[in-house]
Copies of this chain bind each other. A is one copy, B any other.
């Protein structure tokens, strides 16, 4: 296979993975209050009109609009105050021509009324009479029945990720429990003979496991359900046993570490031993993060991420995060890199490769500037000091100081 032997672009990597992966189709029912950031399993259809009646948006008087036509400060339209709308109950009776009913914001228009005059545009002459000093059009200061939501319409589509206002929308539609996609369960395995748990004091030659914790947080921040499977030595059988278990218990597995050639080969052989189609690409044309491996085993994606923490997180953002968030990748790069900032230094890049530069952002003379955070991709501090990632597209051989670049915030 072509994919085995040459680096693929990020776009190709995404297509290859999507072509082979099959995500879980089952969901779970959760209460509305637990549904934030979850993705809808089905289209949500409104049962009732919202609001269920014509509703005032102002404090004032319900009227027939045509009774106010031509009214002005100099020549008010005089109306009889014939009723009052109480909040939360349907007004009894009908508003007749020449009448005005007191109404508060949110009140239900009485039959016969088609507009509301703001209290500021009236003058009270006596208990029974007002003068309207400005005309209103039919429907003015009113939310009509079904104007917010029409019964039978799709209010939110399947796959939609619920934001706070979407919870409000569902509450308005009378939905108090909702079927959502199950969060993807993501197994995380660190590899390397030199890696020890953060609880341990590293002996000379050993380092603490950074990637398990970074990836745990990254999976959780995408709405996935991370599970740690510890640290595995560079040993075919141990890795095979651990990966097989992680695959059986999760929807996706992330391997990290093993940037050395020998370790990479072991990981690749282990992945291929566990199911079809196995390794799909070995190397991606991006920096940092080139030595990344993509595989699908029996429908479940397995990503081999670089051992260097900054590289691992960049590859995670580009190839893994969108899958966990939405089971797919965004169609337009804007949704991933929505900010524009001026880069503050010349940076070289190789044509045909996408480069991602850790940057600190600052506002200067009303413009956003992106200062590259220098340092090797093996350093976790470069990610800690950065506010986001700037993207240098594959078509360019670099950027010059002052050029605009696309940026995503962490």
Contacts and interface: CB of A to CB of B under 8 A. Distances in A.
Interface stretch (A9-17, A161-169, A244-252, A348-356): A161-169
Interface stretch (A18-26, A124-132, A200-208): A200-208
B380 A52 contact: no
Contacts of A410: 163-165
A318 interface: no
Contact of A334 (B193, B228, B368): B368
Contacts of A379: 143, 147-148
A409 interface: yes
Given A210-B171, A340-B340, A221 B334 contact: no
Nearest to A34: B220
A88, A91, A193, A198, most chain B CB atoms within 10 A: A88
Given A167-B217, A221-B37, A89 B380 contact: no
A213 interface: yes
Contacts of A149: 380-381
A376 interface: yes
A214 B166 CA distance: 7
Contacts of A376: 57, 143, 147
B220 A198 contact: no
Q: How many copies does the complex hold?
A: 2
Interface string A368-410: 1000000010111101100000000000000000000000011
Interface string A176-203: 1000000000000000111100110111
Contacts of A255: none
Q: How large is the interface on A (under 10, 10 to 19, 20 to 34, 35 or more residues)?
A: 35 or more
Nearest to A216: B33
A3 interface: no
Interface in A122-167: 143, 147-149, 155-156, 162-167
A292 interface: no
Interface stretch (A65-73, A100-108, A267-275): A100-108
Contact of A309 (B156, B168, B201, B263): B168
B53 A167 contact: no
A204 B143 contact: no
Contacts of A172: 198, 207-208, 210, 380
Nearest to A207: B51
A155 B228 CA distance: 24
Contacts of A1: none
20 contacts: A33-B216, A33-B228, A52-B204, A89-B204, A104-B261, A105-B307, A143-B376, A143-B379, A156-B384, A164-B215, A165-B384, A167-B213, A167-B216, A168-B214, A168-B383, A169-B384, A171-B210, A338-B339, A338-B368, A339-B339
Nearest first, the 7 closest Cβ-Cβ pairs linking A and B are A164-B217, A168-B214, A88-B194, A165-B383, A90-B204, A104-B260, A87-B193
